[in-house]
Every structure is written in structure tokens, then in C-alpha cells.
Structure 1
Amino acid sequence: MPRYEIVSGLDIGATKISLAALRREFGKDTLDFLGCHSVDCECLSATGAVLDLSRVADAVSTVLEKMQDAIKQNITTVFISAKGTHIISENVRGRINLLSRENEICAKDIASACQNAKASAITFEREPLLIAPENYIVDGQPAIKNPVGLSASRLEVDYLFVTALAPMINNLSKAVNMGGLEVEDVVLSNIAGSFSVLTSSEKDLGVTLIDIGSFVTEISIFTGGVIKYDKMLGCGSSDLEKALCSQLKIKRGSAAKIIKNYWKLSSCDYVNPEEDIFITEMSKPVPIKQRQLQAIIEPGLVELFGRIKDALQASEYAPMASCGIVLTGGISAVDGLAESAESVFNMPVKVGTIKPKFNNAVTALDGSSTVALGLALYGHNKKLSGAFRRRFSENVLKRTFQAAKDFLYDYF
């Protein structure tokens, strides 16, 4: 009988696929970090649609082969992320009347309230990625922490429902299956990322997690230990790359490297705006001043931050994020980005770093790999708690029912 198992997470982004793997020994809550590998591939559109099924499957197969060669072990199952503007969140209230005032609320009553809420939130073409309770109201009294065991005649529950288009999720799963892996679960991207870059105290006190991808920026607000708000914006680092492509007449891949390797924000005190930069990614490398690079890129960054700020101001939970903002994504490590964001959002901003402790040293991971690691950590936590039930099925109704069961396991 094996004494351990491999838990892995696969993050399929717009331009890159990352696979992270952990080893958990049965009977222990400690983990070994096995590694994280990535391959470049144009996988998803801004909406989250798979652009080319066979190309994505080949990329999954390639990154799987790289990982297995590195760790000398087979990987057969994986937790995958979901991201894109096809994912929407909405706040829904479910309510039930109990038969008599002497009735005590039980988990079955909460499940009934959840079922009542789902009737209006979930349609046939959509499936739930997340069902999170936000507020329990017992006989008109709000802010009840745990209603189980209380006597009441009426129970109301406010939920955050995050749903995705079922065909999009099915296509994503199909590409992973064709690449040689079985999908254990599909997880909202920032839920996964929160496992790798946020502490439990930050999620309790209130924190905003912003993942800036190539085409999609995801904003999530956590408070009271659970996610309260999630928003997908159809913008990201590709907007900055387009400006470079237009001005310097280069390909998008080269623009991404320039942003990562050469660009420094003008807000950095130590940056010399007259510094000459020789950009080798150009067909004819010529020197360009740092201030010229800033003038091309930074207007797009201002616009990106403006859209993020508008989305935050639209949420009633934004003022509760007392711990500030944590940034992840490929461009999060650009010099001065956090400081520039602080001046826009008027709150503390930091770049996300790996929080969990492992038995062994963790190789340096950039901001675009935190979701893959978070997926593996999410899977480990689910399996360790004994609450995990593989819910990915071809049947949408079965997946919806299992999501509700997972909710009961998580909270009761």
C-alpha cells in the first residue's frame, strides 16, 4: 500500500501552462514541494474559451512530461483553474420557513436554503464553481455566525454564487484529458491563488487579491475567512504589450519580455530615466531611453489600474479589506508596480509571495506560477480534511449537486 500520493495543480492561462506538484504522506499534514514547470502556449481567449483543443492538449502533455522527468514519478490526476469573463458572480438569497418555532435549524435546512437560491442563480448552460455563504439571517436577525442548533421559524442565507459556462469548462477538461491527465476538480483561479499567497489571518481580517493575467484580471475580496466578492475584468498585461508592439514594431512575445526584463516604473526613486537600454528583442537592436519605454507603457497601466479601482468601488466589501491588496500575475514583480498601485488605491499594496511552509526548499517562483501551486495546496487541504469528493463529471446537474454537497462538508 502506498504511503504517499502526488497532488498536482495545472493552471491554464492565456499564454502559458504551469504545472505544480506536491507530495503528501498519508497520516501527516506536511508536504514536500516537488517542482513547478511551465510551457508557453496560446491557450485561452479573454472570455476563457479554448483557442485550439489539440494545441492545448499538446502543451499539457509537454509540461506533464517535463514534470515527470524531473520528479521521476507518474502524475495521473490534477486540479485545474478556471478564469475568463464567462465566469460571473452574483449575490443570491435563499430562504425557507421551518414548520414550527420550536424547530432547530440543521444542515439539511441550510441545504434547502441553498437549493432555493440555486433555482434563480444557476441555469442549464451554467454550472457552479463556488457556492459560499456570506450571511445567515435567523428570524430577521442578521450576522449569525452559525445557525445550526438555533430554534427558529425562518432561515435566510445570503450566498455568493460564482458560475461558469458549462461548455467552456467541458472544453478545458477535454484538453487536459487529451493531454494525459484526469481532472479532479475545477477551481476558481483566485481561490487557488489564495492558498499560496494569503495567510488565514489576512483572509479573516480582510484582504483583496488581484491577479493580473494577460487578457483577464481577477479581483477577489476575502473577509471573515471566506471570499465575499469576485470579478473578472477583460483587461490585463496584453494591453501594455499592444502599445509596445505598435510603437516598436515587434511581436507580442517580444513585448512581454521587454516589460519583464527592461521596464521600470517612473515612480521608482532609483530609476535613471536617461538610462540607455539595448533591447535585443527588436529586429534591429537600437538604444532606447528608459523614459521612452515608460512613456509607451505607463498610460496603459494607469488605465488598467483605473478599471480595477472602479470594480473595487462597486463592491460593498472593499472597505473591509483592512490588510490591503496583494498582487499576483506575470507583471506583479515589475520594479515599482506595488508602489505605483498604492498611490492609485490609497491602501497598502504588496506583491504576493509563497506563504505555506514545506519540508524542503521551494525554488523561486514568479507571480504567474502561484495559481498552479495554489491548486495543489487546495487539493491537499481538501484531501487532508476528508471533505474532498471528486466532483468533475460530464453531467452538469451532477456537478451542481456535488458543489452543494461540498459546501456542506466545508462549513458543517
Structure 2
Amino acid sequence: MTFSRFFPRGYLVRSYLIVIMPIGLLIVAMTAMFFASHVKEVNRRLALSVGSEIEVLINTANTDRPLFEKIQDQYYKAALMETRIASKAPDNEGNPCCEVLEDTLETLPNHAEITRMLDNGNVRILYGVTHPVTGNAETLIIEFPRKRVMMITAHIFIFWTLVFSALLLLLAHGFLRNHVRSILNLAHAADAFGRGEDAPDFKPSGAREVRQAARSVIRMRNRIRRYVDQRTQMLAGVSHDLRTPLTRLKLELALMKNIKGVDLTAAKADISEMEKMLEGYLAFARGEGDEPTEEFDAVNLIQDAYLAASTRAKVTLNAPEHLLMRGRPLAIKRAISNLANNAADHADIVYIHITQTQGVVQICVEDNGPGIDEDKYQEAMKPFGRLDPSRNQNKSGVGLGLSISNDVAQAHGGFLRLDRSELGGLSATLNLPTSAQKAEPK
């Protein structure tokens, strides 16, 4: 059995535990040791000292009253101890206290009665003595502050320990928040870079390791951008170079249309297919990376995206009246159009429905076509993937529809999921966040 599932997931909370738990354990250990050893020992020594003084006082009260009065006037007043002898014991007021002193006084011939006064907190001891001349029974009353037999400032130690611990925790909280903020800023910037967006306010900050990771992310973004730009320029150049001979071929075919006995239908279809292939290659390489992010109505965009597919299949849309989301509308429109056209190419019934749950918009395109085997879902989303055995191989295309849709979803922080449709064909679901948050597959 692993205990990791019982620990918090957040880095900040884990850092708090790393800081708070040792400090808490240290405070508990110090307090326990302080009271178990130091305070207890100090109280014991104070009780022994006071007990010795009381024993001397009782002996002199029983044997030598002049000496008792001399001790009473000179020593005990300086020691903050009041003593007097009364013929009758006063009322026993107050609460029992000073267990250590009681244990010490139990060794005396007669057990003394100890109470704590309610009005001033002094400790009162009542002890029976005998007048050395008359032999009358009297009561020796001894009062002194509780601090004579008990360490009453121990709570101050605990108070200042808690105060300084709280100050240390506040300082640690500030450092940890700044440290975690640097990591979160790096994560948000990395997500923005992954969506093709800039993060102009992002600067490497925090600890040395976090700064190093941030600089590595920036360098990686720059390398990826250079690679994408080079790929786009290469394919754009290839497309431009190939369009020139295609244009000449189209012109030649146009001039040959009046020649009798020559059927140019197949040649024109091949040239048209080559043009579509070039457009597909260029669209895959170019994407919509330069398109700015904006807020738009997803329902209106989807209605425009499946217009072309509705001419080849029966398309049904189930969506709310309006649904605002943030992203690059042209790129999302291209992705939905690819899914709708792909479904219309292989089926006669297409069903599109939109749902929104927890900040994620799910745009599902289903059809009643032949579908795709589950073990080929990943292959279907690869560029130039042609799954002829499971889809109609007489249909044209270059195998970029699902790949472009998947790239668009990932560029927005989402993902494309393929599944079996209830209509019997393929179900392709675009999961897109409504804001800059990232949609995670479940």
C-alpha cells in the first residue's frame, strides 16, 4: 500500500508541510523537554528551599518565640514571606495548589494545609504550633507569592516560541509563494508557447534552476519556430514551383478541348486532384499559427464550417443558441470543416453536437459510415494516413484531415478523440478549452 495518495498534490502545500512539520515537531519536542526537565526541576528546588525555610520557622515558633520574631522581622520579610501567629485558624479559602510543595511538607511532623488565596494569588500555609511558655495551641499562618515555589513564567517561553515560529512561517510563506509563482508563470508561458501564442510579459525569474528551465523553454520555442518557418517556406516554394507546370498543363488541356476523339476528362481530374493535394500539403504546413486569438461564437462558426459537407450528406446540428469561446476561429473552422467533410465523404448521415462541461467545449462529429478499427485510431491521426481498408478507398484526399484537426486542437490546449459512433461509423470529438486553460483527456 502506497501513502502517496494521502499527500497533497500541490507543490505549494507540500512545501508548507516540509516547512511546518519540522517546526511543529521542534516546538512540541522543545516544550516537552522544557517542562519535563527544566521546569519540573526548578519547581522541585524552589519547593525544597521554601520547605526548608518553613521547617526552620515552625521549629523556632515551637521552641524560641524571640528568635522566631527576629527571623520574622529580618529574613522572611526580605524573602517576600509573611508570617504571623493567630490563636484561631482563619477560614480555609482558596483552591489547593503547589503539589510539589505539599509533597515536600509531608515530611514534617504535622501535615500542613495549603491553599491559594483567591484575591491576590498568594500561597497560604496553615500549621499548628504550640506556645513554648503557655503551651496553648496556636496557628502559624504563612503567606508568600506563588512564584516562590512555582515557575510561573513558563508560558512566556511558549508564547515567544510561537511568535517567532509564526514569523518564520510568514517569511517561509513569502519565499515559497514567490518560488511557486515562478514555476506557475513558466507553466503558463510553456502552455502559451505550445498554443502558438506569445507571452510578452514572461521573464525568467525565481530560483536558479527555474530560471535555467525558463531559458531552456524560450530557446526551445525559438528553435521550433525556426523549424516551422523553414518547413512552411520549403513547402510554399515547392507548391509554387509545382503550380507553374500545373498551370501550363491546364492551359494545354484547354487548348486541346476541341480535338476530336480525345477524352480529356481523366487528365483534368488528375490535375484537379494534384491541385487539391498541393493545397492540402500547404495547409498542413502553414496551419493558422499567425492568426490572433479572439473571442467568438462557436455555434455560428460551426454552422459555416459544415456548409460544404451538407451538400453531400444529411448534416444535423445539435447545439445551444450561442456558445462563446476563445481561440483562433479560422483554425478551429478548418478543423471542424475537415471532420465534417471527412464524415460526408464516407457516410450519408452526419450528426454534429456541441456540449460544454467544466470550461471545455466538446464538438463531436459522428457518421454512419464504415468507421475505423479501434487499433488504428492513432494511425488515422498521423499525417498522410490513408486507411483504405476501413474507409472507402475510391474517395480522394491526402490523409491530412484528421491530422490537421488534431494539430489545431493541440495548438489550442485541447485534443482530438476518436471513438465508435452510435450511428455505426466514426465519432471524432474536438475537446477545446473555452479560455487559456488546458483541456486534459480523462
Q: Calculate the TM-score normalised by the size of structure 1.
A: 0.20
Higher percent of residues as strand: 1
The structure having more radius of gyration, on CA atoms, is 2
Greater relative contact order structure (CA < 8 Å, 6+ sep): 1
Q: Calculate the TM-score normalised by the size of structure 2.
A: 0.19
